[in-house]
Structure formats: C-alpha cells, structure tokens
Amino acid sequence: MPRRTDISSIMVIGSGPIVIGQACEFDYSGTQACRVLREEGFRVILVNSNPATIMTDPEYADATYVEPIRPEYLEQIIATERPDALLATLGGQTALNAAMTLFKSGVLERYGVELIGASVDAIEKAENRLEFNQIVTSLKVPGADAGVARSRICQVMDEVLAAAGILGYPIVVRPSFTMGGLGSGIAYNQEELIRIAGAGLSASPVTEVLIEESIIGWKEFELEVMRDGSDNVVIVCSIENLDPMGVHTGDSITVAPAMTLTDREYQAMRDVAIAVTRAVGVETGGCNVQFALNPVDGRLIVVEMNPRVSRSSALASKATGFPIAKIAAKVAVGYTLDEILNDITGETPASFEPSLDYVVVKCPRFAFEKFPTADSTLTTHMKSVGEAMAIGRSFTEALGKALRSLEDPAALFDFTRPIIESVDELLRRIARPHDHRLALIMQALRAGATSAQVVEATRIDPWFVDQLQLIRETADQVCSAPELTGGLMRLSKRHGLSDDQIADLRNLSPDVVRGLRWAFGIRPVYKTVDTCAAEFAARTPYHYSSYDEETEVEPRARPAVIILGSGPNRIGQGIEFDYSCVHAAMALRDAGYETVMVNCNPETVSTDYDTTDRLYFEPLTLEDVLEVVHAELAAGPVAGVLVQLGGQTPLKLAQALKDRGVHIVGTSPEAIHLAEDRGEFGALLSAAGLLSPQHGTAVSAGQALAVAHTIGYPVLVRPSYVLGGRGMEIVYDDASLVSYIQRATEIDPSHPVLVDRFLDDAIEIDIDALFDGTELYIGGVMEHIEEAGIHSGDSACTLPPITLGTETIDQIRSSTEIIAKRIGVKGLINIQYALLGDVLYVLEANPRSSRTVPFVSKATGTPLAKAAARISLGAMIAELRSEGMLRSGGDGATALASAPIAVKEAVLPFNRFRSPEGVGVDPLLGPEMRSTGEVMGLDAAFGPAFAKSQAASFSALPTTGTVFVSVANRDKRHAIFPIKRLADLGFRILATEGTAQVLRRHDVAVTVLRKASQGPGPNGELTVVQAIAAGEIDLVVNTPHGHSLHGSPRQDGWEIRGAAIRAGVPCVTTTQALAACVQGVESLRQGTPGVRSLQSWNAAIQADLP
C-alpha cells in the first residue's frame, strides 16, 4: 500500500524534558519521524517543551510548538493547526498519555483528528495489566507455551499459605487496591510471608492480596517488533539482559543479539511476540515485548509490551542499523515494509530481519554520587540516567568497550587492586544488584569464586559468567607472562582490555603499552554495521572497531572533521551537548567537509548513521579516539578534531590528543587550560581589571581554613575541573569546611580544592558568546531566577534578562570580549557572572559549548553551535553574518520588541530516589547540579512564559487554593509582598509560626500549621507534612533555614520539600522564584496563555532585526 492520501497534516508529540526513564532516545525517534513525514510531503506540527532537542529545530517541522505537553496547550495547538492525524507513538509514555487524555476528553473527536501508529484500543489493551494478561493466556501459538506469572487471590492467611504451597518461594505479595505498591513485598520463606501478607491484608481496603510466583532471577529477553498495515511483521532485534529479572531493563546490562537461546526457544519467543502484537492490535508501527524465561525448564512468561517506540527501540536501531522510528513513521502513514528501502544496503527492502555479525553491549550510567543518601540497589524502578553502547566482534570485546565508554572508573574491571574481602563476603555483595556489580563480580572471580558460585549468587547466566572468567584469565595471562608478546597483546585486545588496563597489569605507562602495541602492528580494524551480516554491501559508513583482520574504512578525498561527542548522558552532561555536536555536523557538511562522528551513546541523534558522513560508534577515551584518528588519516586528509561541543568528555581529551600530534580545531587546549586553571584564570582577570569573588586553593583542611578565614564565610568549595558542579558545596563555618575536605576524594597538589567567597543574594547571569579572534557575538544573556549558589543547570533563567539595565549588559559585553580575547577563544565561550548591587563579578568561564546553547539558539532563532563549528574551522563572524547564519546586525543581546521572553526551567529527579530506609532524598537545590533535563516556556511576557515553564516541568502553578509558607529569617522581608499578593488573589495562606507572625503584621490572614517535628496536635491538627500528603496544599514556599553542622539543611525543611515532591505539589525554595511564581499565577488567572510556533516567533524577529 502506498502512502495515505486522505491525510495531509500530522501532529507529532515529543517526550518533553529528559527525565530518568525517558531521555534523548525520543529526540532521536521524533527527529527521524519528523524528517520522514516532511519528506513524504506531510505538513508536520510538532509539540515538545524541551528546547535541547534536535526535533524542535524549526527546520524539522512546519510548525514547532515549544509548549507544555499538557491538554490545555495541546488543545489550543490542535485548534490552531487543525491536523488530520496525531502520531503519539514516538514520544515515549508522555506522548502516549497525552494522546489518551486528548482522546478521553473528546478533543480528538471534536477536531476530527485521527490517532495513527497505535489505536486507543491497542494502547489500553497493552497498558491494562489484567486485560493484557488475559490476552497472553488466551494466545494460541503452536509449539510455544507462553503465559503470565501464576497467581492466586487470597482473602485470609490460610489461603495465602496454601497458595505459597502451590507457587513456591520466593513469592510476591501485592495487596489489592493500594496506591504506589503500598504493602507489597517479596517473601522468601513462610515467616516473611506471614509478616508481609499479614500487613498486606490489613493495608488492602478489601482485605485481599494477590499472591504471585516470583520470576526474579529468570533470564530476561526483549524482542523489538515492527508491523505494517498489511500485517507483515518482522522482529528487528532480540535483546538479552545480562542482569536477570528483577532489575529494570533500563538499569540492566543488555546484549544484542540474544546469546543463550537455541533456535527453538528463540522462534517460540518470536511467534509469541508476533501473536501478542496482533492480539493487542498494534497495527502500524513498532512495539516491544518483554519475556522472562525459566533457566531450569524453559518456561516462558510474557512480562509486558509497549505499544510504541521505546528506549529499547533506539538501542535496537543503533544495534542493528534498522531505524525503527523512521520505519514506524512510514508504516503509520500507509506504507508496507516491502515498499520501504533499507537505507543501509540501498537495494533490499525493510521487510526483513536484521542479522548481526557482531555483539552489542549496553551498560547503564548511574548518578548515585549526586544523591549520596539514595539506595543504589537496582530494582524494577529505573534509576540510571544514561547509557553507553559498544559494538565488538565478540562479547568480551564489546563489554570492555562499553564499560570504558561509561567514563566511570568504578565501573571498570580492576585487575590489580588487592582483594581484602573474603569470597563469601564478595558473593554476598554481588547478590544485591547495584550500580557497579559487574566490577565486583570480577573481584569475586579474582578472589577465587567459581563460576557456579557467581551464578548461584547473581542468577546471571553461566555463559556470561564464563565470559567474565575468560576476561579474568586473559588479564591473568597478561599479568603473569614473562614478556608482553604480540600474541598476548592481540589476545588481550580481542577480549576488550584497554591499553590502560594492560599498562596497569604490566606496571607500565599506557603510552608505553600503546607504543609497543603499535610496534607489533596491532591496531583495531573498523567493521561496518550493515543490517545483514555482510550478505549485501553497505553504503552507509557506520563503523565499529574490532581487533580483527580486515578494515572497511573507505578512502575519501574531501578533508574530514572528526567531531567528538559527549558519551553517555549523565547529570550535568546530556542531550544539550549532543545537540551542539549534531549542529556542528550539519554546518560542516554544508561547508564542504566530510563529517565524522565519534560517540557511544545509543540514545542520541549524533549516533544516527544519517547525521554525519561517517559514524564511529566508539568509546570516547584517548586510546579509542587516537585509533579513529589514525584510521581516518589513512583514509584521507583530516582538517582536525572538534572537541569544544561535546562537553567535558572531549574537552578532557584535548590536551592529550594534541600532545600526540592530533590537530584540535577551534579554541586550543592551552586556551582551555587557561580558563580552567584557577590561578592562571585569576591572573588573567586581574590583568584585565575584572573582578572575581575572592578565592584560593587548598590541598589540606588547614589550607582551606586559612583561605576561608581570609575571605570570610560563606564560601563555595569544589574540586577543580568539574562539569555539573560535581562535589560543589556552600559552607558556612569551619566544621563544615573540614568535613567537606575529609569527604572529598582525589585531592592532591594537581587537583586542589577551590575555595571561593560565596556571593550571598547576588543575581547570577549566564552568557553564551562566539568569538572569532576579532569579533564578539553574544548569543544570549540569561538571568537566573534563583540567586547565585544554585547550580546554573538547576536554576531557572530568562532570556532576555528581565531585570538588567543597559549599562550592565554593556559591561557584560565588554568583559566577555576581554576574556574571550585573552583566553584565545575560537568558537563558543560560556561565562557566568554574578551581579551584587552594581558590581559585576566573573564566576567562571568555559571556552566551549555550554548546556544553554540549545536554549539560547532556540530562543533567539540563531544556530550558535553551527556558527561555532564554522568559526573553529576558520570562518569569521562577519562571514557568517553575511551568509545569514548569524544576525546581520546586532546580536543575541540586542533588545527586540518582537522577541519572546524565554524561560528555562530545570527538571529534577528527586522522586526517583529513596534512601535504603525508604526515606526520600532532599529535593533542595544547591551548587551541585542534579537536574536531568530542562524545558522552555515562551511568551511575550514573563508571567505566562514562567507559568508555561512550570507547567512543562511537572509543577504547574495553581490559580486558586492554599499556599503554605515557611521562609528563613533573611528571606522574610522579600516574601511579604508576593505572599500578600497571593492572599489578595484569594489564596488561603498557611505558615509556620515565625513566618505567620511577620505576615500578620502585614495584614495577611494566615493560619499556623504545625511543623513536622512538633507532631500532630492534640485535636488531630495536621503537621505541614501531613497536610501536603493529604492534598490540602497547592503551593509550598519554603526557603532553607540556615544550615546544620554538616552544611545540610535542617530536618523540617527537608521533610516539607520531600513531601511536596512526593505529592507533586510545586515547591518554591527561593524568594526570587516566589516572585516569579506570583507573576505566573497572575497570568494564569487571565486564562491559559496562548500558543505560538517557533516559526512564527522567528519570522517576527527577522522582521524586527536592525
């Protein structure tokens, strides 16, 4: 069937901000979908609140709405654009839920919008547990006996015990009709069962529990399915989880293709997956089906299915070369799979199943270091913030590459660390799934644990455990051989050992190992991901390295630019940097260069084989990058390596690459060092007559105290060379400072701790600018809504700055120019300033792409990263102005009446984490970045723009109701006016005693609420925490009250904010944000703000340019 002609416009919903469990894989899928739909001639209307996405670049849709993905905004967009169809299967659960809401409220019907991709019925069937289980059990698949976990419903303990007798231990207890899994648990024996089921029965309002067999420890698999309108179904990829059932797939190490299935088991799974897809009714598009398989007898259980493109789809696309989202979009508009060409071969159709002649390993990236109190045990609740994928010709090779792609030293196999723990102790510890378990398993094997013991403790399949043994044996050989021979070197490389690991084992330096390896002529070759195991020639150079014999890198004539990506998503380094890398690729390709991407993050647009001329799916380590450079130099001329757009990952490699003769384009490594080195940068500032907060460096507690006493508390302390404020804290006294130094690791003379005077109450300003050696172009000036001290990545900000005067902007411009010139920037620079009174301080300068580049680019309609890439390769700003890439006159700091106010708001993952005791982690903002993503609110005025940013970041402002206020003494003065305004608007005001007293003096009617520490009152009066949990409060205003001994906020505040996060109540923690809130509330009371597309805003800006 050809493309449908009865629809001409399609609305696509994105997935909104990056959150744990929903990251940039949906930008990758959405970007592909938008591109395909436009190529097919559809008018595409896109909605996504996340500005750091490629999909929201105006060229990917006819109308791009960076608006909250909420019904009231979506309906307005539908009313304005009148799309014929809605495609919601490419924007994750967010888009699917939004579509269901629009369907249920009748909006789709009212405007005649057809849901394409998956029907409402299919979505409901897949999402409704009971209905889905019924579908699975009624499937008739010859030769494949798949079911669901066995269970019994019990009302009394005798029934529970009888059920346990049938189902066997361990056993899962799920009380009926309780919220959020309350009262559920796993019992391993009768004693536990009586306790858990007893509690469960009493927790259940109907005194009923579901007793279910546990499938924890079973083998876990996933199949990616694609179906078209003619009922052609293909399996794109099989994925096997190394971590067995019990750990969320997103947190598991996963392997493609499945490694431990015979054809019979695989085909049974395939038959069931296809039958499930048909029975649920996913008619056109992709879905995935998850399986659990009992390793003892092969019993197969269908765990769940997602009737949409998922995280696994992105992984499967990158793992196979089969672009699931792209194909899903094509079949959604009517094509059948046989009508779609396989891009990679260019001659065979998409109606086939990819065959792999390599192994793909994905490892999750965690961020528990950001949440020290959080429980790092991995469960069915996803906790990882990103992932790295690697491809090798064997599992061991791929695993080694995947682990080093994580850039997490604790994840790596350490073959030399003395083992002090006993085997029993190690076995006990590896039984708990946690973030660095694989490294610990290696320790257990090194300590002498047998494969069987490890299998018993972890339930990891024996085949995988044997592969770990193989790696251990290889390392042992490297360690104990009298001489590091070529044969041994080759063997160790084939099993994934890095030069660093070999160096460690042989007590040599990595450079010596590398030199030796090269002298032996042992270098990786580059193979191609071709979807078909070499059956057909591939025309897309999508490469991965392997220590094999024949390379497939083709010679080329044009000069290449090698762009280093940003690796796995993590807090502080996410999609924003991928955005810049993708833009660089586009700009440089347009400028006539051959573009080469190196990256290892399967979620991203940068690792789409369509993005650059060549893609190397490789770890971003010195070793791996040097090899890619070597391979590309052999293929043709290389103009250089671009490091300034991928964040800290490539930046950290810059000097080492240069030292080894690699040409770095743009800002030089020396210039980068100048900006990063506190001493040198301080000297630069003083020489230029610019102010910075007083500061010093220290390598000991004594030195730190001395610095603090000189400059006075509070001080900001942090390690040098950080991104995302890792380990950064504000400390107020000697005790907390000493405590910080004691807790800080890796302090030595080359990595001192930086101690800065903390500017209390200052306004923080962020700028992104371009400099070409002579001319400065300010991309944008952002004013933070929170005061200095909140990490810029976590702080809301506005562009243009809403309270800064022209003089300040002028001062920022001249300061920026001086700094850029003195550092020697060629490309982008990000500078953070603090304005205290009228005095401008320079906080830091980063001569690279920043997190805010996509936001600024989108808010001003100027592609800063593209311009930076061009400047890096020698273009001048004047040239880019005349090309139309940059504004012909003025720049991003030029005030334009027609430009929108853009508000960026951060999205924080606090609700994902609990301490081992089950207590939530404190959702307080500080100098260490903790947000996973961001949204943008756009409007003509600040109030509605702010309101939109809050709505998009899951904390929609109320327009009526009850406000609870508890502010620190220093904040009381600033809180009076906004709270009084809220009261005037009709809000009921509740407060703690101290805050209430002040408010009463200002004639605000206020009710006193008990603190959590006071406990409920004698007549049952609720504490604030209870009131929040009970849903009685619509807005929480709570600024931290000073600090405790260890620099942590006081318990009461913590509990209030924690309760707000759990209840989903917006929580304001600074007075500046409170003022912004009030403006937002006022605008919302005029009705939902209107919507406007980026294209429309940009047209207005263009018309308004000087």
Partner 1 sequence: MSAPPAQDNSNEASAGTARSPIPALLVLEDGRSFRGTSFGATGETFGEAVFSTAMTGYQETLTDPSYHRQVLIATAPHIGNTGWNEQDNESRRIWVAGYVVRDPSRMHSSWRASGSLDDELRRQGIVGIADLDTRALTRHIRENGAMRVGLSTIETDPQKLLARVLETQPMLGADLVADVTVASKQIIAAVGTKRFTVAAIDLGIKDMTPTRLAQRGIEVHVLPAASTLDDVTAVSPDGVFFSNGPGDPAAAGRAVDLLTEILDAGLPYFGICFGNQIFGRALGFDTYKLKYGHRGINQPVMDLARGTVEITAQNHGFAVDAPLGQPVTTRWGTARVSHVCLNDDVVEGLELRNASGRLTAFAVQYHPEAAAGPHDADYLFDRFIDVMAGKDA
> By the criterion CB under 8 A, which residues form the site for partner 1?
142-143, 217, 230-232, 234-235, 238, 257-264, 266-267, 270-271, 294-298, 336-338, 347-349, 351-359, 393-395, 450-452, 455-456, 459, 461-463, 466, 469-470, 473, 527, 532-537, 548-550, 552
CB of 550 to partner 1, least distance (A): 4
CB of 860 to partner 1, least distance (A): 48
Other Cβ atoms within 10 Å of 796 Cβ, number: 26
CB of 532 to partner 1, least distance (A): 7
Say if residue 695 carries a ligand binding annotation. no
Could you tell me the CA-to-CA distances from 859 to 367, 580, 770, 798, 848 in Å, in that order? 30, 15, 16, 10, 19
CB of 453 to partner 1, least distance (A): 10
Say if residue 304 carries a ligand binding annotation. yes
- Of the two residues 350 and 651, which places its CB atom closer to partner 1 in the complex? 350
- Of the two residues 445 and 996, which places its CB atom closer to partner 1 in the complex? 445
Q: Which residue has the tokens 């695989």?
A: 266
CB of 535 to partner 1, least distance (A): 5
Which residue spans within 947-1097 are E strands per DSSP?
962-966, 988-991, 1006-1008, 1035-1038, 1067-1068
Say if residue 247 carries a ligand binding annotation. yes
Burial 350-380 (b: 16+ CB within 10 A, else e): bbbbbebebbbbbbbbbbbbbbeebbbebee
CB of 173 to partner 1, least distance (A): 20
CB of 279 to partner 1, least distance (A): 17
- Got the DSSP string for 478-509? HHH-SS--HHHHHHHHHTT--HHHHHHHHT--
- Of the two residues 258 and 747, which places its CB atom closer to partner 1 in the complex? 258
Contact 887, 862 (CB under 8 A): yes
Contact 540, 343 (CB under 8 A): yes
- Of the two residues 93 and 348, which places its CB atom closer to partner 1 in the complex? 348
What is the spatial distance between Cα 600 and Cα 585, in angstroms, rounded to a whole number? 16
- Got the DSSP string for 910-941? GGG-B-TTSPBPP----SS----EEEEEEESS
What is the spatial distance between Cα 497 and Cα 21, in angstroms, rounded to a whole number? 30
CB of 348 to partner 1, least distance (A): 4
Select from 1087, 859, 625 the least CA-distant residue to 51.
859
Say if residue 213 carries a ligand binding annotation. yes
Residue type at position 613 = D
| Torsion from C-alpha of 131, 133, 134, 137, nearest 10 degrees | 160
Contact 146, 267 (CB under 8 A): no
Say if residue 588 carries a ligand binding annotation. no
Other Cβ atoms within 10 Å of 248 Cβ, number: 18
What is the spatial distance between Cα 953 and Cα 941, in angstroms, rounded to a whole number? 19
Say if residue 757 carries a ligand binding annotation. yes
- Of the two residues 478 and 868, which places its CB atom closer to partner 1 in the complex? 478
Select from 969, 1017, 974, 1009 the least CA-distant residue to 989.
1009
CB of 650 to partner 1, least distance (A): 30
CB of 1052 to partner 1, least distance (A): 48
**How does strand 146-147 pair with strand 300-306?**
parallel
- Of the two residues 111 and 352, which places its CB atom closer to partner 1 in the complex? 352
- Of the two residues 395 and 855, which places its CB atom closer to partner 1 in the complex? 395
Q: What is the largest CA-CA distance in the chain?
A: 86
Say if residue 215 carries a ligand binding annotation. yes
Q: Is 725 left (phi over 0), alpha (psi -120 to 50) or beta?
A: left
**What would the two tokens of residue 431 be?**
């039984």
CB of 141 to partner 1, least distance (A): 9
Residue type at position 868 = A
Say if residue 128 carries a ligand binding annotation. no
- Of the two residues 60 and 358, which places its CB atom closer to partner 1 in the complex? 358
Peptide bond into 257 cis (omega under 30): yes
What is the spatial distance between Cα 860 and Cα 1101, in angstroms, rounded to a whole number? 8
- Of the two residues 109 and 476, which places its CB atom closer to partner 1 in the complex? 476
- Of the two residues 66 and 287, which places its CB atom closer to partner 1 in the complex? 287
Say if residue 718 carries a ligand binding annotation. yes
Say if residue 789 carries a ligand binding annotation. yes
**How does strand 185-187 pair with strand 209-213?**
unpaired
Q: Which residues pair with 938 in a beta bridge?
A: 902
Helices (H), 802-941: 806-823, 853-860, 864-872, 877-883
- Of the two residues 312 and 959, which places its CB atom closer to partner 1 in the complex? 312
- Of the two residues 469 and 1096, which places its CB atom closer to partner 1 in the complex? 469
Side-chain half-sphere of 176: how many Cα atoms within 13 Å? 13
- Of the two residues 155 and 294, which places its CB atom closer to partner 1 in the complex? 294
Say if residue 682 carries a ligand binding annotation. no
Main-chain phi, psi angles of 676, to 5 degrees: -80, -30
CB of 260 to partner 1, least distance (A): 5
CB of 40 to partner 1, least distance (A): 21
CB of 339 to partner 1, least distance (A): 10
- In sequence order, the 6+-apart residues with CB closer than 8 A to the CB of 179 are none
- Of the two residues 236 and 411, which places its CB atom closer to partner 1 in the complex? 236
Q: Is 557 left (phi over 0), alpha (psi -120 to 50) or beta?
A: alpha
SS3 702: helix
Could you tell me the CA-to-CA distances from 758 to 152, 384, 707, 927 in Å, in that order? 60, 32, 13, 11
CB of 327 to partner 1, least distance (A): 13
Contact 729, 718 (CB under 8 A): yes
Main-chain phi, psi angles of 139, to 5 degrees: -65, 140
- Of the two residues 551 and 1071, which places its CB atom closer to partner 1 in the complex? 551
| Annotation: binding site for Mg(2+) | 290, 304, 306, 832, 844, 846
Could you list the residues known to form a binding site for Mn(2+), using ranges: 290, 304, 306, 832, 844, 846
Residues that constitute the known binding site for ATP: 129, 174, 180-181, 213, 215, 220, 246-248, 290, 304, 718, 757, 759, 764, 789-792, 832, 844
Residues belonging to the binding site are 129, 174, 180-181, 213, 215, 220, 246-248, 290, 304, 306, 718, 757, 759, 764, 789-792, 832, 844, 846
